[in-house]
């Protein structure tokens, strides 16, 4: 492949061009004229393009394999860590963490859609993230506690969906709390965050990727 590219380019860009000739013409006065070899531009372009395309395809395949391998390795590591944490005892009256449960099942790179997610009391973290927790019925059976994180870039959209001034969710040097005048329900698209652990507690926040308002109902929330 490299030889093919080299041969095609050498006809125009390498010193070898001086010897790459079609023939010689000798005049009666003994002057020698070099007749240069005609370059087939179409063939040259096709050769180079084919070689480059092949190289890029190989590089893409190698990169894809590397990314898949790293993702698979990380998936195994975080699933194992989440599995260990889900087996630890939790305080009375607390529910199992949904994020840990989903991570244990291998959902690290999965997008999750939630409907009827209640929101009333939120915390505004120092980095501008808006966080709240709520009970979620998963698989129509067991109740889990889910922690939702809205990144700062989506906070204006959250405020708009809730009909609240952006300033309410403005970050400060310390944790802030805010209670909505009326509880609302949302439809959310989420991905799993990183494990957050402290003595006696561990959870995986659900990172919100899109927000939509949903008419409130009086049933429990569902995935």
Residue matched to tokens 């063939």: 43
pLDDT of residue 93: 77
Is residue 207 within 8 Å of residue 152, measured between CB atoms?
A: no
User: Residue 118 maps to which CATH number?
Assistant: 2.40.50
Gap between the Cα atoms of 84 and 59, Å rounded? 38
Query: Would residue 108 count as lying in a domain?
Result: yes
Gap between the Cα atoms of 4 and 53, Å rounded? 13
Gap between the Cα atoms of 117 and 121, Å rounded? 12
pTM flag (> 0.85):
no
Which residue in 146, 130, 126, 220 sits closest to 179, CA to CA?
130
> Distances in Å between the alpha carbon of 181 and those of 21, 118, 148, 162, 165?
87, 13, 20, 10, 13
Gap between the Cα atoms of 98 and 145, Å rounded? 6
pLDDT of residue 17: 46
The domain total for the chain is 1
Q: Which residues of the chain are under the pLDDT cut of 50?
A: 16-17, 216-223
pLDDT of residue 213: 85
pLDDT of residue 161: 92
Domain span holding position 173: 98-214
pLDDT of residue 51: 80
DSSP class of residue 115 equals E
Residue matched to tokens 């190698």: 62
Gap between the Cα atoms of 221 and 223, Å rounded? 7
Query: Would residue 155 count as lying in a domain?
Result: yes
pLDDT of residue 74: 92
Query: Would residue 168 count as lying in a domain?
Result: yes
Query: Would residue 156 count as lying in a domain?
Result: yes
pLDDT of residue 13: 56
């Amino acid at each position: 492949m490299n030889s093919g590219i080299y041969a095609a380019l050498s006809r125009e860009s390498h010193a070898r061009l001086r010897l790459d000739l079609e023939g010689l013409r000798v005049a009666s006065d003994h002057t020698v004229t070099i007749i240069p070899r005609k370059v087939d531009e179409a063939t040259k372009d096709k050769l180079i393009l084919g070689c480059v395309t092949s190289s890029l395809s190989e590089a893409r395949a190698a990169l894809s394999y590397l990314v898949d391998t790293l993702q698979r390795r990380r998936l195994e590591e975080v699933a194992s860590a989440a599995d260990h944490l889900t087996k630890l005892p939790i305080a009375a009256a607390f529910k199992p963490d949904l994020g840990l449960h989903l991570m244990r099942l291998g959902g690290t790179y999965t997008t999750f859609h939630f409907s009827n997610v209640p929101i009333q009391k939120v915390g505004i973290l120092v980095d501008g993230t808006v966080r709240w927790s709520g009970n979620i019925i998963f698989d129509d059976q067991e109740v889990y506690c889910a922690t939702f994180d809205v990144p700062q870039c989506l906070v204006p959209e959250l405020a708009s969906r809730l009909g609240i001034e952006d300033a309410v969710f403005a970050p400060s040097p310390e944790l802030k709390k805010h209670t909505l005048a009326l509880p609302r329900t949302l439809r959310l698209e989420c991905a799993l965050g990183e494990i957050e652990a402290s003595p006696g507690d561990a959870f995986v926040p659900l990172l919100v990727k899109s927000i939509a308002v949903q008419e409130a109902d009086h049933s429990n929330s569902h995935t």
